[in-house]
Structure 1
Amino acid sequence: MKKKLYVFLMIIVWMSAFCVEGLWAETLRVGTKEAPPFAMKDKEGHWEGISIELWDRIAKNLKLDYVFVNQKDIDHLLAGVRDASLDAGIAAITITAPRETVLDFSHSYFTTGLGIAVPKKEANGWVTVMRALFSFKMLLIISFLVLILLLVGTLAWLMERKRNPEHFDPNPIKGIAGGIWWAAVTMTTVGYGDLTPKTMGGRLIALLWMFASMLLVSSVIATVASTLTLAKLEPEVSGPNDLAKIETATIASSISDKYLRERHLRYVYYDSVDAGLKGVKNGEVGAMVYDEPLLKYTIMKKFSQSLMVTDALFENQNYAIAFPEKSPLREKVNRELLKIIHSQEWQHILHKYLGT
């Protein structure tokens, strides 16, 4: 009896293995879409990119036969995976809680976030200059100078008020005011000569102040010049908090679409990253919000002279391969995926497309 049971179990195991091998022996339909630099077509129409090369290596290691099936957009791609007309989906697909309820995902192979593409142009005019001059940073510099002049002027008055009353009035208000005037003209190297220290202490303060003034003035000039330059180059939008000021471009059904909609921000849809960035360049919208690596790659290739991506990275995302629920492929793919992304070969792939 035990022998028969053993034979029966072996037959079931063999048949299960045969079924799985039979499934994988078929040509898999892998859905993808244009998402440079993760999935894109070369001049000959062949698929390439970070995600494409990852799948190529996984399939090679697992000896899978497959064909890439181009999808119009992310909605069609995920729908095809969900109804199992596609065996897998790969491009720049972000793992989200709603998607996880109807799909299965591989381990994440790339972590990124949303970025903001803005015009790279120099702003001119008196408005920009005045705004920079009356910025918080400039007010701090002016306040610091006033305090220094007050300190030096008061010290000079304390030294000179008794022995040099004709130049530094003994009256505190008049005397300190005169001291501040003397400190200011000395700092700017004008030196009218109407007020001159005569005591040893006063002259020592004057000597130290002359040398300190040279360093102070050069530092202030450098800071002011830097502030004005940055004001001319700094875009109107530098982070997500600035998006309320403008109308923004994005792509429908994307993570950026969800982000903008939930915050009730003004935005318009474009069919692709390329089209959205053209809208920013042409002044149709003030910025584009989308996955940062896709923005950076497209700008590097086509808009490097006119657009830039801000330093702000927000709404972290994890890219993964999508599978129909309970797909027998997922576990095997996960094992190979982990081997690949922890290899030197993966670093070469990333450097090839991202330069990092």
Structure 2
Amino acid sequence: MKNLSLHILILLLFGGNNQQAFAESDTLTVGIYHNPPFVIKTEDNNFEGLSIELWENIAQSANLTYRYELYSDFVGILKRLEYQDIDLTINPMDVNDSRVNKFDMTQPYFISSIGVAIPYLNRSPLAVFISNIFSLAFLEIILLLIFVIFVFGFFLWLIERRHNKFQF
């Protein structure tokens, strides 16, 4: 799965232009989109999830006022950030060079390589054995082994053919 980052741009508040913008508006605009388990839109039009809880704890401890602005996708949020229509986003995103050059971003706080494992169809061991014997991967291994044996046999024949005339 991807490196995810909560890029809380609250750090920008402590830099020049954004501090002035925040002083003027007193309310941060937080761009979000539905992306479980990080941002989940509930039936009563509220939001919950990992990123929401983390942001609300940060905002509460820093006495920040904010409002959420819902977008349909991640691209819309990136455009709004770039045009400075929103102050920050709390949805997870990959940290890459082009984004680091455009935005202040935090280090990734969630990295996962989640997978799902299920039993490989309830087949008999004999059926599994036969399917493995007649698979393309097994054929490639056998052909590689034959090639290696042929090459080493050829070199052995080149070296030994004059010294062991009874064998060759």
- 1:258-307 superposed Cα distances (whole Å, 9 cap, x missing partner): xxxxxxxxxxxxxxxxxxxxxxxxxxxxxxxxxxxxxxxxxxxxxxxxxx
- Give me the whole-angstrom Cα distance separating, in 2, the residues matched to 1:57 and 1:93: 20
Q: Which runs of 5+ in 1 are unaligned?
A: 1-15, 137-356
Over 3 Å counting, the alpha-carbon distance change for 1:132 and 1:107 in structure 2 is: closer
What's 1:61 paired with? Answer: 61
In structure 2, runs of 5+ residues without a counterpart are 1-16, 139-168
Question: Quick one: percent identity of the two aligned structures?
Answer: 25
Partner of 2:103: 103
| Distance 1:51-1:83 versus aligned 2 partners, 3 A rule | same
Per the alignment, residue 163 of structure 2 pairs with none
From the superposition, tell whether residues 70 and 120 of structure 1 become closer, same or farther in structure 2 (CA, over 3 Å).
farther
1:109 Cα offset (Å): 2.4
Q: Quick one: distance in 1 between partners of 2:115 and 2:39?
A: 21
2:88 alignment counterpart? 88
Alignment match, 2:41: 41
RMSD: 3.2
| Maintained 8 Å contact 1:39/1:92 | no
Q: Aligned equivalents of 1:102 and 1:64: distance in 2?
A: 24
For CA contacts below 8 A with separation 6 or more, give which structure has more relative contact order.
2
State the AA in 2 paired with 1:112: S
Residue correspondences, number: 118
* Distance across 2 between alignment mates of 1:91 and 1:120: 34
Determine if the alignment matches structure 1 residue 77 to structure 2 residue 69: no
* CA shift in 2, pair 1:91/1:85, >3 Å: same
Question: How much has 1:119 moved relative to structure 2?
Answer: 7.1
Residue by residue over 1:152-176, the C-alpha shift from the partner in whole angstroms, topping out at 9 and shown as x without a partner, is xxxxxxxxxxxxxxxxxxxxxxxxx
Distance 2:89 2:39 in 1: 11
Q: Does 1:122 align with 2:148?
A: no
Match of 2:150 in 1: none
Following the alignment from structure 1 to structure 2, what is the Cα–Cα distance between the partners of residues 116 and 21? 42
Which is richer in helix?
1
- Structure 1 residues 99 and 21, CA gap change in structure 2 (3 angstroms): closer
Structure number with greater Rg is: 1
SS in 2 for 1:101: helix
Q: Distance in 2 between matches of 1:118 and 1:79?
A: 37
